[in-house]
Amino acid sequence: MNKKFLWTFVIFIAASLACCLPFVGSSDEASSGNTEDLTDSDGGLPGMDTDTYEMTVENAALLEPVDLSPAQRQILTVIGSPNRFTIMFSDELREETWYYDHLGYQVTLRNGEVYTESDAGTPVDAVDFVSVYYPWQFNGQMGLSELLAVSETESFAVESLEETFQEALSLVYLRGLDAGFRGDQILYIRAIPIGAGARDILLTEEVTEVPDQPASATGLTAVEQAHVGTHAYQMTCTYSDGTSDSEADEITWQFSEEGVYFDEYGPFPKIAENYYGLDDESDGFFLMFSMDTIVWSDSFIKADEDGNPITIMFSCTLIQQ
């Protein structure tokens, strides 16, 4: 077994045991949420040698959603988003397991391709068992600062495993999330469900103004509400032929029971929460909405140098200005 993957598995098990142990000591101290009280400054994470952690996201691209594979899109189309998940990172491998506890189903994907799946579990009432996160929010280049940015909180706890394993291994606990690190290299992420409606509660906390909604757009998520109407975006696109471009544009979004419209185009039907598109033999068009960002995946046909038609796939990131 790959040593890095073995360490990932070992500290993941350690984190699982830690989550099962009862709190020891004063209940006030355990629930205070104070970073200084909860953080072990002797851990292997950089920046833990002072009382105050300086959170700096130096590369905003690390916060962009991860592109979904055709297999992942198909799963989302059929049964929607998982209510919890784990992701393990090792060298070039991204292994993620999506859990659908209400269906008794789970699927493990390696680099976007289905590796194993099981529907032998016992379905449970998962209404109160929902993560506030999605798998595509995380990647293997993230550090603690990026995790804090995604979780939209400044409170966290760090547990050093260096004394136990004689290596700079650490566990980090955030709101609805725990993660394992070797030094500043992330090894795994696990989403911890924190209750019904948690996704909307988390997203709504940062919304100060919501644009007026058309009468047909009832029941929108906070993310969808943030894009209703006309907004300016900085759009950066990369293409499968190795080219890229960037431009500013204004786009008008409308949401209805039929799906989402942008400008005069649509409707594009809803696939999962904040995720819309088409997936058939003639077209593959997808829109993934987050609070101030949209990821647009599509393709088009053009002629090559010999006049033969070729398909160009592209992905565009739209950042609301």
Q: Kindly state whether residues 193 and 260 are assigned to the same domain.
A: no
Residue 290 sits in a domain whose CATH number is 2.40.128
Judge if 124 and 221 occupy the same domain. Answer: no
Same domain membership, residue 220 and residue 193: no
The tens digit of pLDDT for each residue in 111-164 reads: 999 999 998 777 776 556 778 888 988 999 999 889 988 888 778 888 888 887
Predicted local confidence at residue 126, as pLDDT? 55
CA-nearest of 250, 243, 272 to 260 is 272
267 shares a domain with 185 = no
Phi, psi of 128 (to 5 degrees): -100, 30
**Each residue of 17-36: pLDDT tens digit?**
444 433 323 333 333 333 43
Q: Which H or E run includes 315?
A: strand 309-320
Indicate the residue type of 34: N
Contact 89, 187 (CB under 8 A): yes
Among 165, 200, 235, identify where a domain stops: 200
The verdict on 175 and 282 lying in the same domain is no
For residues 7 and 141, membership in a common domain is answered with yes
What is the pTM (predicted TM-score) of this model?
Answer: 0.57
Q: How large is the C-alpha radius of gyration of the chain?
A: 21
**Domain check: are 178 and 29 in the same one?**
yes
Residues 232 and 91 in one domain: no
pLDDT at 94: 95
Specify the pLDDT at position 2: 53
Q: What is the spatial distance between Cα 255 and Cα 214, in angstroms, rounded to a whole number?
A: 8
Last residue of a domain, one of 145, 180, 200: 200
Domain range enclosing 228:
208-320
**What stretches in the chain show pLDDT beneath 70?**
1-55, 125-128, 195-218, 279-284
292 and 162 share one domain: no
Residue with tokens 């984190």: 15
| Closest C-alpha to 233, from 248, 223, 217 | 248
Interacting residues of 175 by C-beta distance below 8 A, sequence separation 6+? 132, 151, 153, 155, 194, 202
Tokens read off for 76: 């989302």
The number of beta carbons lying within 10 Å of the beta carbon of residue 161 is 24
Question: What is the tally of structural domains in the chain?
Answer: 2
Pair 267, 302 in one domain: yes
Q: Please list the alpha-helical segments (H only) found in 53-154.
A: 70-79, 144-151
Among 200, 230, 247, give the residue marking a domain's end: 200
Q: CA–CA separation, 173 vs 159, rounded Å?
A: 8
Helix (H/G/I), strand (E/B), else coil: 8: helix
What pLDDT was estimated at residue 32?
Answer: 34
Kindly state whether residues 313 and 187 are assigned to the same domain: no
Alpha-carbon torsion (110, 159, 34, 127), positive or negative: positive
What is the per-residue pLDDT for 112?
92
What pLDDT sits at residue 207?
Answer: 34
Tell whether 23 and 58 lie within a shared domain. Answer: yes
pLDDT of 109 reads 95
What CA–CA distances, in Å, run from 45 to 55, 76, 209, 290?
A: 13, 35, 37, 29
